[in-house]
Amino acid sequence: MPTEVITVHEATKSYRTPAGDFPALAGVDLSVSPGEFVAVTGRSGSGKSTLLNLLAGIDRPTSGQVRVAGTEVHALPEPRLSSWRGRTVGMVFQFFQLLPTLTVAENVMLPMDFCATYPSRDRRPRALELLGRVGIAEQADKLPSALSGGQQQRAAIARALANDPPVLLADEPTGNLDSATAEVILDLFAAQAADGTAIVMVTHERDLSRWAHRQISLADGKITTEVTR
C-alpha cells in the first residue's frame, strides 16, 4: 500500500473580518492516496476553496496540520513555498488563468522555467508532449485567446502537469464549460489519477460516480458526508 500523499489533520482556518473572526474551516481531516480522485462538493461559502488553498500552501491553517508529499506545508517558510508548490502541486482553475501574451506551449513551459525542473532544451519538447497527451498538440503555437474554452482548460491541465507533480488541485475546472466538454476534462483527470496522481477537485457537477473515487461534501467548514465508490 502506498502511503498517503495528502494528510490534513484537524485543520481550521479563521478569517479576521471587521465583524470578528469568521471560521471558514472548522476542523477538517482528510487523507488522499496516490492515484485517488477526490471530488469536493458543497454550497458557495462552505470552505472548498479555502481547503484547496491550504493544500497548495497559498494560505496557512489557523490550527492543525497539512502534510502534502512528505512536507509539512503549514510549517514551510514563506520563501520556499512557491518553488515547493511549483514542483509538488499542479493547479487548475475555473477561468483557466493562462497568460494571454504567451503561446500555449510557452504557458506550459512556464512552471519548468520557474523551477528549472528540466534542462532548457527539454522544456519545449516536454510541453509539446504534454499538449499531445491532452489532445491539443496542434494548438501549441497559438495564443490562448485563439482557443475554445475546452481547449484552454486542456492547456491549463498540461501546464499543471509540467513538473510531473504528485498532486493536482482543481477548483471548479468545468464550471465554465458545456457538459460535453466538461466530460472530456473529467476523463483527462481520471486518466491522470490512473497514472498515480492524487487529485482533489472542487466541483458543482452532479453525478461524479463515473470519475471520482470518493466524494466529500463540505458545509460550514466541516466535512458532512463522504461517499466512496
Report the site for ligand ADP in 46-105 (rule: CB under 6 A): 46-50
18 contacts ligand ADP (rule: CB under 6 A): no
For the chain, give the number of residues.
229
**Residues 48, 157: Cα–Cα separation, whole Å:** 20
Q: Exposed, middle or buried: residue 39 (CB in 10 Å: 0-12, 13-18, 19+)?
A: buried
**At its nearest, how many Å lie between ligand ADP and the CB of residue 170?**
12
19 contacts ligand ADP (rule: CB under 6 A): no
Per-residue x/- marks for Mg ion, 29-48, CB under 5 A?
-------------------x
49 contacts Mg ion (rule: CB under 5 A): yes
**At its nearest, how many Å lie between ligand ADP and the CB of residue 193?**
22
**At its nearest, how many Å lie between ligand ADP and the CB of residue 171?**
7
**CB environment 141-173: b (16+ within 10 A), e (fewer):** eebbeebeebbbbbbbbbbbbbbebbbbbbbbb
Nearer to ligand ADP, 45 or 70 (CB): 45
Contact 51, 25 (CB under 8 A): yes
50 contacts Mg ion (rule: CB under 5 A): no
